[in-house]
Every structure is written in C-alpha cells, then in structure tokens.
Amino acid sequence: MEQFSFFTGIDVSKLWLDIAVLNPTDGLVHQSRINNNVKAIRSFLKGLKKQLKAEITEHLFCMEHTGKYGHAFLAASVLEKVRVWVELPVQIKRSQGLVRGKTDQWDAVRIAKYAHRFADKAVFWVPADKTIQDMKDLQVKRSQLVKTYSQLSQENKNDPLFKKPLQAIKQGIQAIELKMEQLMEDNQVARQQYDLLTSVPGIGKQTAMALIVVTNGFTRLTDSRKLSCYSGLAPFPYSSGSSVKGRTKVSKMGDMKLKVLLNLSAWNAIRAIPALKDYFKRKVGEGKHKMSVINAVRNKLLALALAVVKRNSPFIKEYTSNLLLLP
C-alpha cells in the first residue's frame, strides 16, 4: 500500500470543480473552487504544490465517476503525473451513513475523508487507449440517438410529420456506427479482438465493441466472474435469519447497456448454437425460470468471449461443449 500525506477530494460539476485537501494530522488544509478545464486544473495543481510545500505525488486525488465532466481533470492528471482514484458515486454515498445537508463544498470534503479512510482499496485510474476512448464516446452518442429514435417511433411511426426527423436520426446512428468501424480498422489489436468476438455465434458488432470498451481492450476485467459481476449478471443470495429468505437474483448495480446487449446476444446464441439450444430446453424442462436460464447463457457467452480472446483463436464448437459441463 502506498503512503500519502494528503487526501484530496474533488466534487465534479459541468463548469467547475470543488476541491478539499485533507491532512490526517492537521485536518482540512485547503478548499477552493476552480474552472473545469485543463488549463485551470494544471495551474491549480502547480499552485497547490507551492502552497503545501509538498510534491504532487504525496497526494491521493479522489473523484466520483461522472462521465465526460471528469475528463478535463483526468487529462490534466496525465500531464502532471497525478495519481487519481475514480470511484463509483454509490460507493462513496453508502460509506457515509446518514448525511444531513448537501453542498458541493461539503461533498468535496466527504470525498477526501472517503479517500483517507479507504486508501488501502484505492484503484488508480489508467488512461485508456485513444481508439477505445473515442469508441466509448461514440457509443454514448449512439445510445442517445437510439433511445430518442425508439421513443419517437413508438407513438409517431406513422405520422408523416415525423418521417424526416426519424430518418435523420437513423442516418445519424448509421454514421456513428460507420465511424466506430473505421476506428476499429485503424487499430490492429482492437480489430483482431473484434474479429475474434464476432466469430462467437450470437455476439454481434455492438456487443463486441462494448466488450472491448469496458475491458479496455481486454486489459481489465479479464476474469469471467469479475466481468459477470460488472455486467450485472452475477447472482447473489438474499437471506437473513429465519424470516428473510429471498431468492438468489442478479443485482441491479451493473453496466445496464452491456447487460441489454448480452441479453440479445444470448437469445441469438440459443438459436445459432445447437448445444445451447438443447441446454436452454433442458433447464426450462427441469422447472428453471426462463430468465434464470437466459442469465446462465449470458454468463457462458462472456466466458466464450474471454476464451477466444485469451487463446487468440476464433470460436470452435469445443468451447461450447466445455462450457456446458458447468452447472
């Protein structure tokens, strides 16, 4: 475990960052608000070094995962060689117990205290490959357009006034998908992984790209159990004492977009792979709930995806046969 002299909490918003620096001995030693752009952040980091008379490597910076609003600080952290821990907001919130009141300044202090208390569990942020980061940004835009298209088409599909807007949104989705494929073509490693993943029956283009992005090109979450948990597919028991005996079920905490893609992939795999089709019918015939069996298939698909990438060879039937030996 690395030792730090200062624990810096960063509350991220669109226009600015609220910052609180905690020293275990002296308590709160700095609070400020700065603009959320790379230039202002780099200037702040240099000024903080002079103010506290300590190297920036003595700080553990902690911030909540807030999507694109945190990109400026992460970009500056690479330039200034800052160690940053990007944590899930729900993890920080649940660690605080009952909290009264909320301001951005207080949140920064609470994040700093969280970093100090759980420093031994810190996972330092590592910049993703540029191609994968660009793909991730495009995925977000595609998801927004798909959601908009779905909402508009459900009620206004036959309305002539919506014909051109819907067509324009559809063209936008196609343009994004084309751009993602072009990015894949320009990156040899990502392209190879993409070809391996799409060789698995049921795993389509979007699922393959999503897996490459969430695993950062299969440099993280390379264990099937960890990837299953991240995707919200790992079942957990719910019981307490003699009165609470809930059924084992998957958690709602997970990457829901990846979960939906894997759900579609599971149904396609059942249709395409005879062994999985037989497995599905057998388990349902034994009285298993259909969605429980589908979840098992989703987990098997994740294991298949990791297998083809790890072995660097396309899908072969033997992979499925080995997986079906599992319960």
Tell me the per-residue pLDDT of 79-125, one tens digit each, with 9 for 90 and over: 998 899 998 887 888 777 766 667 888 889 999 999 999 988 888 88
Domain identity same for 233 and 305: yes
291 domain residue, yes or no:
yes
pLDDT value of position 89: 80
Please report where in the chains the tokens 């599909």 appear, as a residue: 157
Position 55 in a domain: yes
Average pLDDT over residues 39-50: 92
Would 313 be classed as within a structural domain? yes
Q: Does one domain contain both 66 and 101?
A: yes
Residues 252 and 233 in one domain: yes
Of 218 and 323, which is predicted with more confidence? 218
pLDDT of 262-303, one tens digit each? 999 999 989 988 888 888 888 888 888 888 889 888 988 898
Across 240-250, average pLDDT: 63
Residues 24 and 114 in one domain: yes
Structure tokens belonging to residue 172 = 């936008």
Taking each helix axis as running N to C, give the angle between helix 38-52 and helix 71-80, from 0 to 180 degrees, rounded to the nearest 10: 50
| Separation CA 40–CA 61 (nearest Å) | 16
Question: pLDDT at residue 50 above 80?
Answer: yes
Q: What three-state secondary structure class fits 248?
A: strand
d(CA 81, CA 298): 39
Distance linking the first and last C-alpha atoms of the chain: 38
Q: Which two tokens stand for residue 2?
A: 């690395």
Torsion-angle region of 70 (φ positive above 0: left; ψ -120 to 50: alpha; else: beta): alpha
The enclosing H or E element of 213 equals helix 205-214
Shared domain for 314 and 220, answered yes or no, is yes
User: Which comes out higher in pLDDT, residue 158 or 205?
Assistant: 205
d(CA 247, CA 263): 21
Residue 1 has pLDDT above 60, yes or no: no
Q: How many CA atoms lie within 13 A of 290 on its CB side?
A: 5
Whether residues 149 and 256 fall in one domain: no
Per the structure, the complete domain to which residue 237 belongs is given by 193-327
* Paired residues of 10 in beta bridges: 19, 63
> Which run of H or E residues covers position 183?
helix 163-186
**Quick check: 244 pLDDT over 60?**
no
- Name the more confident of 20 and 251: 20
Q: Whole-angstrom Cα distance, residue 35 to residue 41? A: 7
CATH at residue 29: 3.30.420.10
Tell whether 117 and 160 lie within a shared domain: no
pLDDT at residue 185 is higher than 90: no
Residue 325 pLDDT > 90: no
Give the Cβ contact number of residue 148 at 10 Å: 15
Same domain? For 45 and 10 the reply is yes
Three-state DSSP state, 83: coil
Domains in the chain: how many in total?
A: 3
Q: Please report whether residue 134 resides in a domain.
A: yes
Among 105, 121, 137, the domain-final residue is 121
Task: Determine what percent of the chain falls in helix, strand and coil, rounding each to the nearest 5.
Answer: 60, 15, 25
Let me know how long the chain is: 327
Tell the residue number behind the tokens 């019981």, with chain if given. 239
Q: Which residue, 30, 26, 58, is CA-closest to 44?
A: 30
pLDDT at 169 (0 to 100): 92
What is the pLDDT at residue 90? 78
The pTM of this model reads 0.75
Confidence class of residue 251 from pLDDT cuts 50, 70 and 90? low
Let me know whether 156 and 49 are in one domain.
no
Task: Identify the residue with better confidence: 179 or 1.
Answer: 179
278 and 318 together in one domain: yes
Q: What is the pLDDT of residue 243?
A: 59
Reported as a single tens digit per residue, the pLDDT across 128-184 is 788 888 898 899 899 999 998 888 887 776 778 888 888 999 999 999 999 998 998
**Greater confidence, 99 or 9?**
9
pLDDT of 199 reads: 92
Q: What is the pLDDT of residues 10-35, one digit of tens each?
A: 999 999 999 999 999 888 999 999 99
- Residue 1 falls inside a structural domain: no
Distances (CA, A) of 30 to 8, 20, 77, 147, 148: 9, 6, 19, 43, 44
Residue 66 shares a structural domain with residue 156: no
Residue 117 and residue 144 in one domain: no
